Each structure stands twice: as structure tokens, then as C-alpha cells.
Structure 1
Amino acid sequence: MMHFYKILFFLTMMLGTLMAISSYSWLSMWMGLEINLLSIIPLLGDSKNLYPAESALKYFITQSLASSILLLAIILSLNLKEFFLETFQFLSIIMNSALLTKMGAAPFHTWFPEVMEGLNWMMGLLMLTWQKIAPMILIFYNYQMSQFLLIIILISTIVSGILGLNQISLRKILAYSSINHISWMLASLLHSQMIWMIYFLIYSIITINLVIIFKIFHIFTLSQLFNSLNFSKSIKFSFLLNFFSLGGLPPFLGFFPKWLVINNLILNKFYFLSILLIVFTLITLYFYLRISFSSLMINFHESFLFPSKKLNFKIFLINFVSLSGLLACSLIFNYF
């Protein structure tokens, strides 16, 4: 049963995000971020989460610190009368650092997997998708292609790949996967906001598919994943293809936004950045494939004591749309 206070805070959380991305001044953007923060804290403190107080406190401290730094940069930029180029670059770095902390990009990422570990799947889905929108668009408003953001993109790909290798918690694996996708989204913002929108939409669809499967079967670790998938071959097949899609393998929908980003980078002569993104994303793809092959190839004993669970038709339809979407997108964009 959905409580009234949850509906209220959920709506104000969405209102805060929309206020931040549609404002004309930095101060009202900061106010939108604060409304979003104050609305999601009661939702994180819900008793259905694994560690509600710990997750809410970690999230609040990190976000309030980032908001304070952002407000400091905004006040300095408004009060400085002689706005030299060096000062502008310095304030831009401070502002972008605060926004990168809010979305959980490396090296400002250490709070993100820990907060994710203490949440249930629905709140984790909000953290992986909706909470990325406002900071990402505000970075686009202040996007100066500097060495700072290039370093952030590269660190995010490297850190997410290496730290995701030794994880057994699926929430942390999805958190590090999100950090990897943040680097691709930042790269997509170089010259085109439309590519970012396509990337974010497709990433959200794939993540929703995975989270729905995890929520239905109460899966939180790899051992639970391997045991639960043996109840139904169709569920195993659906899950594995979504994992391949999240990694960006070519026959699936997840390859399409990466294809667009690489194409855009090469057209704008960012050859070195595109090569490094591809190479370091292979580390992330490696642990996706390792999990998938383990669940496919290793022989687990199937239990006949429990009835086999089935996904309903709607979830299978969403999975089919997301997995066959690359063909549809290729045909549609071919005529533009």
C-alpha cells in the first residue's frame, strides 16, 4: 500500500528536478536541487530499505556538502565584478565538481555504492536513473570542454571497471555500472544534448527491466541470482540478454547509444578519448560476461520443492521491446 506521504514526497522530488532543469538563474537551479534532496530523504528513510537510517544519512551529508560548494561557487560568480578568464575556469571547476558529486561520478563516487547497498530495488532505481537528470543537465549548461572533464570521464571508466570486478552484491554492480555509463553520458554532452537524451532513455529502460526481475525474485547477491534463475529458463534468457544489452554488445539495444557517442566523438576529432572509452569499458563488459556465463554454463541443481515463478506478459513485452530495439532504431534513424 502506497502511503500518502510517499506520494507527496515523490511528487515534490520530481518537481525539484523539473524546477532545476527549467530555471534561468543558478540560484533557482540550486533551490530545485535542494527541494529534490529534502524530498528524497524521507523516502530513503523508509523501513522497507535494508539500512534506512545509514543510507539516508550518508546521502544527506554528501548532497548537502555538494550543495554548499555549489552555492559558494554561485555566490562568488555573482559577486566578482572583474571576471577574469582564470577566475571563470576556477569557478567552473568548483561548480562542476559539486554537480559531479551529486550524481556520483568518479572520483567523487565513494558514497554512491554504499548508499545503494542499503536501499531496496525501487529506491535504488530512483538513484540510478531519476537522480542523475538534474546534475547532468546543469553540467551541460556549464559545459566547458576542459582537461578537468576529460580526466573525470577517464577516471569514471577506469574506476567503475576495476572496482566492479570483485563485487558480489548486484546493487553495487549496478552502481559501478552506472558510474561507467555516467562517463559515456558526459562524453555524449560534448556537442549534442539529443545524444545524451537517447543514451539516458535507453539506459533507463534496460535498468528498469533488470530491476523489475530482481525485485520480483528478491535477488540481491550473485549466489541468489544463480539459484533463482534455475526456476525458469525464459527468465534466465531474458535477464542475460538485458545484461548483455547493459554492457553494450552489438546485437542489443544498449549498443545503439554507445554507437552514437563514438560516432559523435570521431566526427569531432576526439579520437584518443573514444579509444580510451572503448578499451576501459571492456573491463565492465568483462564482469557482465563473467556473471552471465557463470549462470549459463555452471550446472546448478534445480530445486523441485518450490514452484517455478513466471514473469507476466507485460514484463516480457517490455523486455522484448528493449532487446529488439536496436533493429527498430536502426531502421528509424536510417531515414532521417
Structure 2
Amino acid sequence: MFHKVVFFMCMVMGTLTAISSYSWFSMWIGLEVNLLSVIPLLDSKKNSYPAEASLKYFITQALASSILLLSAILTLNMNEFMPPTHPTFDFMMSSALLIKLGAAPFHAWFPEVLEGLHWKNCLIMLIWQKIAPMVLLFYNSQLTDFFLFIILISSIISGLQGMNQVSLRKIMAYSSINHISWMLASMLNSQSIWMFYFITYSLISLNIILVFNQLNIYYFTQLFIIMTFNKPLKILFLLNFLSLGGLPPFLGFYPKWLVINNLASNSFYMMSIMLIISTLITLYFYMRMTFSTLMITHTEVLMLKSKINFFIILFNFITLSGLFICSMTFNFN
């Protein structure tokens, strides 16, 4: 257990080093420390699937780190042949960071890695491992056709590929890719909206994964049986997925509202329409899952048989009442 704490602290320090550095070489070092600290955290003695997932994750991240380091070296050493602001360097750096992030079309590794992990490790992959690539994209991102293409293709592919999944971990992975497209769109004009979107997404994902982890469920069919024995958790599960889909009056609607407003203010009308349509596709498989869980029952249980953790209730209360609180508190112009 002690080594897990040490590696967890190193993972945090690697991320903080990457996002607070002033040079690409220091950022690369921070990303490598983060990567080498995450791999031991993914390991498990109970089965071999986490080892396979960690190997896939390491190979993909090592490839992305190599591209990032190569682009940084070329930027420093080829000034006499082409300027450091040449589109080639921007393309290489952005591609490397998008591979690390798991954005489409560089996303194929992400659902496969999540499929082999426990829910606690999935939480790290879905939330913490997005911070460093996202912040580094702030330093390097420019409004190019490539960046707009990544936003659109991530929103479309995540919706289409998530429709035929029965694994809850893959559903959360494709949901994450869809939210990546929204976060990248929010980065175009406003850092504060991206920050708020990321915090909101992290809270909602934390609520959902806490429920899945407590009930120890990983597949779609398990929801019908296990959720029947705990009706309050069933309702919280339903409401959180509707919030993740961006339906009012839940907290998940507020950051999407801000992003759409920001895009429309800057004349990105077509991108706003595409993001809304793709979100409706993801909302379809959210509602398929929640409505099936709510209506299909094997044995109806009228009594509450298990207690709910206090922290689950607290986080869910924050999420489900968050839209009213944020509407009264924040003012994004």
C-alpha cells in the first residue's frame, strides 16, 4: 500500500511539473514522470487484464512522448531552415498531445485500456490524466483547420461508437471522448469556461464511478439485477447520467450552455450545431441505459437493504443542485 501512495504522489508531481514548466523539455520530463508513476498504479494481483491495459497505455504514451520530444528538438534546431511557428511543428505537437489525451481519431487505445482496469484506476484515466495534455494544448493551440477537425471528429465518432457498447467502462470512455470535444471547443476562446467544464465533468464522473465501484458492476446487464436492490442509488444513477448528457435542470447543462454561448458569440455556428447533434446521440445511449435500468426488473424489492455512503450522497447533492447554485453565483461574459 505504501508504494501506491508514493507512485500516486509522483503522478501528481509529474502533472504539476508539466503544466508549470517554461520549456518543452521540462514539460516532456513532467509527462514522463507522470507516465512512469501511473503504470504501477494500474497493476493488480487479482487478474492479468490490468497488466495488459497498462502495457497498451505505456506503448501509446511512449509513442506520443517520442513525437512530442522530436517536435521540440526540431523547433530548437531547425530555425535556419524554417521558422519555429511553422505549421508542421504545431501539427506534430498538437498530435502528440491529442494522442495522450485520447481524442479522436487517436482514440482507439483509450476504450481498450479502460476495459481492463478497475473503477478506481478508470477514475484516474478519465479525470487526472487529462489535465496535463489539456493545459499543454493551451500553450500550443492555434485556431487551425486541424484543431477544428479534431473537435468535430471526436464528437461524431464518440457518439456513433458508443451506441453499440454493453461494457460500462467503454461507455464511459466514449462519453469522455465526447466531452473532450466540448472541452477543446471551450478552449478556443475562454480558459475559464474550460476550467469550469472540466471541474463539472470531473464531479459528475466521480458520482457515477463511485456508484459503479460500490456496486462492483462493469456491464450493462448487471444494472438490471443489482440496481433493483437499492432504489435510492438507482435514482441517483439515473439523474447523474442525465446530468452527464447535459439535460437541464442538472449541473451538466450549465457548462455546455456556456460553451454554446461562447461559440455563437464568436460565429462558430456550424460547430455549435455539430456538437449539439453529437450530444443528442450520446444522450440516446445514456437514456437507453437509464430507462432500461429503471423499468426492467428481475425481482422488485420494496425495502432498502443496503446503506449508501455519506460521501456519495454529498457529491450527488452538489451535482444535482449545482445548476441553481452556479446560475446564482457565476457570471461568464
TM-score range, shorter chain: over 0.9
> Partner of 1:302: helix, strand, or coil?
coil
Report the TM-score, using the length of structure 1 for normalisation: 0.95
The aligned residue for residue 184 of structure 1 is 182
* CA RMSD, Structure 1 to Structure 2 (Å): 1.8
Q: Deviation at 1:302?
A: 3.2
What runs of 5+ residues in structure 2 fail to find an aligned partner?
none
Q: Deviation at 1:87?
A: 6.5
| Contact 2:245–2:252 (Cα < 8 Å) also in 1 | yes
* 2:49 is the alignment partner of 1:46: no
Q: 1:113 aligns with which of 111, 114, 117?
A: 111
Q: 2:324 aligns with which of 318, 322, 327?
A: 327
- Give 1:36's aligned amino acid: N
- Output the CA distance in 2 between the equivalents of 1:300 and 1:19: 51
| Contact 2:159–2:279 (Cα < 8 Å) also in 1 | yes
| Contact 2:228–2:297 (Cα < 8 Å) also in 1 | no
> Partner of 1:34: helix, strand, or coil?
helix
Q: Deviation at 1:86?
A: 9.3
The aligned residue for residue 215 of structure 1 is 213
User: CA offsets, 1:71-101, max 9 Å, x none?
Assistant: 0000000001236469611110111001000
Q: Which moved more, 1:275-284 or 1:74-83?
A: 74-83
| Contact 2:196–2:255 (Cα < 8 Å) also in 1 | yes
Q: 2:16 aligns with which of 10, 15, 18?
A: 18
The aligned residue for residue 28 of structure 2 is 30
Q: Deviation at 1:280?
A: 1.4
- Give 1:98's aligned amino acid: A
In the alignment of these two chains, the number of paired residues is 333
User: CA offsets, 1:267-299, max 9 Å, x none?
Assistant: 111111111111111100110011111112224
> Partner of 1:222: helix, strand, or coil?
coil
| Contact 2:224–2:296 (Cα < 8 Å) also in 1 | no
Q: Identity of paired residues, percent? A: 62
- Output the CA distance in 2 between the equivalents of 1:166 and 1:335: 37
* 2:273 is the alignment partner of 1:275: yes
Q: Deviation at 1:46?
A: 2.5
- Output the CA distance in 1 between the equivalents of 2:62 and 2:234: 41
- Output the CA distance in 1 between the equivalents of 2:259 and 2:81: 34
| Contact 1:49–1:120 (Cα < 8 Å) also in 2 | no
Q: 1:66 aligns with which of 51, 57, 64?
A: 64
Report the TM-score, using the length of structure 2 for normalisation: 0.96
Q: 2:87 aligns with which of 86, 89, 95?
A: 89
The aligned residue for residue 53 of structure 2 is 55
| Contact 1:247–1:254 (Cα < 8 Å) also in 2 | yes
The aligned residue for residue 139 of structure 2 is 141
| Contact 2:225–2:297 (Cα < 8 Å) also in 1 | no
What runs of 5+ residues in structure 1 fail to find an aligned partner?
none
Rate the CA distance shift 1:334–1:199 in 2: closer, same or farther, 3 A: closer
- Output the CA distance in 2 between the equivalents of 1:307 and 1:163: 36
- Output the CA distance in 2 between the equivalents of 1:325 and 1:116: 28
- Give 1:268's aligned amino acid: N
Q: 2:157 aligns with which of 156, 159, 176?
A: 159
Rate the CA distance shift 1:94–1:332 in 2: closer, same or farther, 3 A: same
